Amino acid sequence: MTAIRRTSSTEVLYGMHPVTEALAARRRRILEIFVAPGKTSGREAILREQALNEGIPLKEIPLFQLNHLAQTRSTQGIAARTTPYPLCDVGDLLKERRPGEPPPFFLVADGVLDPQNLGALIRTGVCLGITGIVVPKDRCAPPTPAVSRASAGALEHVRMARVTNLVRTLKAFKERGVWVYGLDPRAKYPLFSVDLNGPVALVVGGEEKGIRPLVKRACDVLVSIPQKDTLNSMNVSVAGGIAMYAVFHQRMYGAS
């Protein structure tokens, strides 16, 4: 069996989309790529060619060993040892926009602990043009390979800041003219009744308790998504997706 080192300064991405999107985004250094024998799809051939062109070592190893390296069976027979996901700080997210660029549009995830939900939010957010995402360090899933896998590799293209104090971060947003909307199923203002065309930060809460009280108070306005009363609330990734699409729709087509 070939010995493959895992170190504290690297991580193992897994799945076709995360690995190919990391190659495309060029935000990480990819140290080596692993492929299980028998992978002969068109996408795998393209991946091999990319690795060759980039001078990245590509190794064939048994599937069981590849899965052991990634610590999951959800590898699709593809993995890569890379530098960690490159976080940024809030100041980078708030840098002045160039003329002609759309107003900033931030997603703030307060307490989203499930990597699947965070990945789904990121995937939708990238599709709908978010400027970046902010998460707290102590109440949110970190940007792990599992999140990249759940986002179908979209994590590799988005800028993320992990902050110690989310309330202070929202205050910094407001000082820079960003209007902060908190998504709350009990809010009296419907999401579709507010102006989302300017600089916006959309705050979504966690799977069980939603947005924390102090974070709610730091929002400019709390908004809700109108729905039937059969269930208490939507899944956070679904609700966040609807809210992000409302911002996208207003900016593309105007308020309905």
pLDDT digit string, tens, across residues 212-253? 999 999 999 999 998 876 556 788 999 999 999 999 999 888
**pLDDT reported for residue 230:** 53
* Pair 96, 200 in one domain: yes
Nearest-angstrom CA–CA distance, 225 and 188: 10
Between 232 and 143, whose confidence is greater? 143
Q: What average pLDDT score do residues 52-79 get?
A: 93
Tokens of 191: 């999401």
* Pair 115, 70 in one domain: no
Domain boundary among 82, 99, 114: 82
**Could you give the angle at the alpha carbon of 74 between the alpha carbons of 116 and 24, nearest 5°?**
75
**pLDDT reported for residue 252:** 87
Q: Which residues, other chains included, contact 158 with Cβ-Cβ below 8 Å and sequence gap of 6+?
A: 122, 125, 126, 130, 132, 133
Assign 4 a pLDDT band (cuts: 50, 70, 90).
Answer: very low
**2 domain residue, yes or no:** no
Q: Taking a C-beta distance cutoff of 8 angstroms, is the pair 111, 140 a contact? A: yes
**pLDDT reported for residue 88:** 94
Tokens of 123: 């995937």
* Pair 77, 94 in one domain: no
Nearest-angstrom CA–CA distance, 57 and 48: 10
Domain boundary among 52, 82, 112: 82
**6 domain residue, yes or no:** no
* Pair 132, 218 in one domain: yes
Predicted TM-score (pTM) above 0.95 = no
* Pair 108, 166 in one domain: yes
Q: How far is CA 29 from CA 67, 142, 149, 157, in A?
A: 21, 19, 18, 14
Q: What average pLDDT score do residues 193-203 get?
A: 94
* Pair 193, 113 in one domain: yes
**CATH value at residue 55:** 3.30.1330.30
Across 113-233, where does the E strand assignment appear? 132-136, 160-163, 179-183, 189-190, 200-205, 221-224
**127 domain residue, yes or no:** yes
- Rounded to 5 degrees, φ, ψ at 146 are -65, -40
As for how many domains the chain has, the answer is 2
* Pair 210, 243 in one domain: yes
Domain membership of residue 55 as a residue range? 11-82
**155 domain residue, yes or no:** yes
Q: Is the pLDDT of residue 26 over 60?
A: yes
Exposure b/e, 194-213, CB count within 10 A at least 16 = b: bebeebbbbbbbbeeebbbe
* Pair 55, 96 in one domain: no
Q: Is the pLDDT of residue 99 over 80?
A: no
Mean pLDDT comparison of 35-44, 93-102, 121-130, highest-scoring range:
121-130
- Kindly report which listed range (36-45, 129-138, 164-173) carries the lowest average pLDDT score: 36-45
Average pLDDT score, the chain: 90
Tokens of 171: 């205050």
Q: What average pLDDT score do residues 139-145 get?
A: 92
* Pair 76, 44 in one domain: yes
Assign 207 a pLDDT band (cuts: 50, 70, 90).
Answer: confident
* Pair 162, 222 in one domain: yes
**CATH value at residue 144:** 3.40.1280.10
* Pair 168, 191 in one domain: yes
Q: Taking a C-beta distance cutoff of 8 angstroms, is the pair 223, 178 a contact? A: no
Q: Is the pLDDT of residue 75 over 80?
A: yes
Query: Which residue's entry shows tokens 């307060």?
Result: 110
Nearest-angstrom CA–CA distance, 143 and 110: 14
CA-nearest of 225, 212, 234, 243 to 111 is 212
